[in-house]
Amino acid sequence: MLTKAQIDEYNDKGYVLLPALLKPDELAVLDRATQDVIAGEGPQVMREKDGKPHVVYGMHLLDPRFHALARHPRLVAPAEALLGNQIYVHQSRVNAKQMGGAVVDWHQDFGTYHRVDGVPEPKGLMISIFLDEVTCCNAPLMLVPRTQHSGIVQEARINEAAEDHAAAAKFRYDISFETLDRLVREKGLEAITGPAGSVLFMNMNVVHGSTVNITPLRRVILYLNVCTVDNRGTTFKRPEYLAARDFSPLLPLGEDCLSRFAAA
């Protein structure tokens, strides 16, 4: 369970990082699941210009190990504590930040979820699970703290010139440089780093992005974007691997929900 200091940090800055929350044997299970899904084909697999897989959406729908991850008690309990309600998965994905891969421009997740998916309120989290150590070198997630207090950024627009427009960016409302500059001058800028197994819980209104990975160091992050069960999408313009149809609450499994796959 989260401490009062951790909850206060989330309420203030819009995020809290729990270092090494998952154990090495659990990470090994998730790494094997990652290799299996990125080797797949289908519209849920987004690729770099050179054909390498970059993002696989709907991971919790594709593999029982990711299905279990979404119900891991060490993820569900903190999320419910921060949001004050039960949660469902609005979107999940494997993000393999390949060397030389695409930049992810500055945005708020709620920008898309509200405008495209009809999610009414920013009552949700981006839960980021580090499969690898994330350092200042291998393209960490960067964010503007406290921007959850600013509400939805109205200046955001879909950028048809974005490098990854054919994939995620065709639904992503990118934030202009002028607006980003103002927000960073007002609130600062932070890079989120930590050892493998760390888990970031971030408010879905926090402005964030990531740059290109120009190192040979792998950087795989698993994302579970969750909303409270009373905060459902309503438009269904996007396929289920991008936006939920199942709003059932995530009921936590046992502590061994991932490690049992290692034993098998």
The CATH number linked to 52 is 2.60.120.620
The 10s digit of each residue's pLDDT in 55-99 is 999 999 999 999 999 999 999 999 999 999 999 999 999 998 877
Residue 80 resides in a domain: yes
- Asked if the model's pLDDT at residue 47 lies above 90, the reply is no
192 vs 158, more confident: 192
- Asked if the model's pLDDT at residue 128 lies above 50, the reply is yes
Residue 245 resides in a domain: no
- Whole-angstrom Cα distance, residue 41 to residue 233? 27
Residue 66 resides in a domain: yes
Residue 88 resides in a domain: yes
Residue 37 resides in a domain: yes
Q: To the nearest whole percent, how much of the chain has pLDDT over 70? A: 93
Q: Quote the pLDDT of residue 36.
A: 96
Residue 213 resides in a domain: yes
- Whole-angstrom Cα distance, residue 191 to residue 97? 15
What's the total number of domains in the chain? 1
Tell me the CA end-to-end span of the chain in Å, nearest whole number: 29
Residue 244 resides in a domain: no
Structural domain of 117: 4-239+256-260
pTM of structure: 0.94
Residue 247 resides in a domain: no
Q: How many CB atoms lie within 10 A of CB 263?
A: 8
